[in-house]
Structure 1
Amino acid sequence: MEMERPGGLSAIGNTPVVRLAQLAGDCCAEVWVKMEAANPTGSYKDRMALAMIEAAEADGRLRPGQLVVEYTGGSTGSSLAFVCAVKGYPLRIVSSDAFADEKIRTMRAFGAEVELIQSPEGITPGLIPSMMRRAAEIAEQTGAFATDQFNNADMVDGYRRLGEELLEQLPGPPPVSAFCGYVGTAGCFLGVSRALAAGLPGLHRVVVEPAESAVLSGRPPGTHHIEGGGTGQRPPQLWPADYDEVIAVPEADAFRTARLAARGEGIFSGPSTGANLAAALEIARRLGPGHRVVTIQVDSGLKYLTGQLYS
């Protein structure tokens, strides 16, 4: 039995799952999408933020009223700001103007102090490392607790429940043949794929990354605009044994698929979900009927209305 949590924290998780009705044709495998925009801040990052804070509370790394600090492209920051507001922790965020303004405004709406690193050209290979260095400086100067999402193993446990929910929700048959997920920290991919693989030993695990910065595919890092991943380096908790395939999605395809999903499926999301859907459809065409592919709606399209995606 899960613990009772205060306020809006009790609304995290137990999100619906839907099957694509238009984009996946008769010659394709079924494609199912976990609708994580149903979480309180409109993102699956609510799960990891709560997991990181509660684990640190439980083992004493985080003291009552202590400052929390994180580097983030925005969704983790929004989720941490939400969790910290409910639990009474002050929060300092290091982010960038390379990310959606709606995310920055959300962090501030929940009371976080936000410092921006300028990167008008987009998500460059050096941006995330510079944000990490600045957050580490703040933690050292202030004695803050650094959630340090890329290196925090607690976030993986936060996503395991998402995979368990999928096993409970999906009707059968057919069983799930493949799971794909866009990776930033890789926490969601690891948590979900491990939970699914525990019940589905033959699961095909596919990581998704931007073609413009396809480091996991063995290409050089580059600049792109698919927020939430493609940091120019391998996520420190992700190893080759954790996945079976990498699909690199061009940002133009990610943007196009997100728009198609909004208009044809009613799945309103951001570019990283577009990348997930593009990869899932590629796998579904390859597998054909009688199979099932699962992926994630990462967040809500409401976070991207002022950017290029829906303009």
Structure 2
Amino acid sequence: MQDGTSAGQEIVLRTDGRGRRPDSARLRRLNILVGALSLPLFVGLWELVSRSGAVNMVLFPPPTVVAAAVLEWIRSGQFLGDLLASLFRVTTGFILGGALGILLGILTGQFPVVSSLLSPLFHILRPIPPIAFVPIVILWFGLSEAGKLFLVVWGVFFTVWLSTHIGVQKVDRGLIRAALMLGTPRRQMLQEIVLLGALPYIVVGLRTAVSISFYTLVAAELAGAFAGIVYRIEIAQQNLQTGQVMGGLAALGLISFAADRLFSALAERTVWWR
């Protein structure tokens, strides 16, 4: 009787499992469809609102006008130069700020003396937004690229430093003590135990810093740039070219989104065990 009951329960469970799978697949397809339609619906609603007369089309142009402005921007040859200038600032600042943040994060997370020396200072400086430094950066660096890179590095550094610092402190102290007792050189221990143990936290900080680097790009290119997407947005705003302003914002958002997706894909392959 028990075997019969167990077999019956198993049949019911399998049947229920088969019954649930189509619902799950249908829900997944519905989510994909909704996601695919969200952007066209948003653009269509934007077009309707802009052309309805409820708003001023000069100040809130429809997507067709924005698209025409972006195409003209591309045809003029300025878009490629602006894109390369902005990507250079973001990429270089991200690499420098990320490397410095990881290095000092490992030091402050691993060595209490270094943490006591630097952490209070970093916690005081960290809340200061990069855009607040624009006036003094212009005084320090003039209109050179060094000032723009400084602002991007500033925004990236503190995010990466804090995530690395926390990640290092989360590493199992028992593993570190065991490695030292077995005679593992401190440098090897830092590389193979501390750094790898903190790597998931570091990756989260780096991914957050990808978006932050684009935020700080706004401050960087407001500090006297002669090329760049934000620079072109500012020029268009001064000339009341609202279509190009919104096109520049859309381009900045798309590039930031693509950079985030690319970093996420690379992180999943690199830190596969997290």
* TM value normalised by structure 1: 0.23
The answer to which structure has the higher strand fraction is 1
The answer to which structure has the higher helix fraction is 2
Determine which structure has more spread, i.e. the larger CA radius of gyration: 2
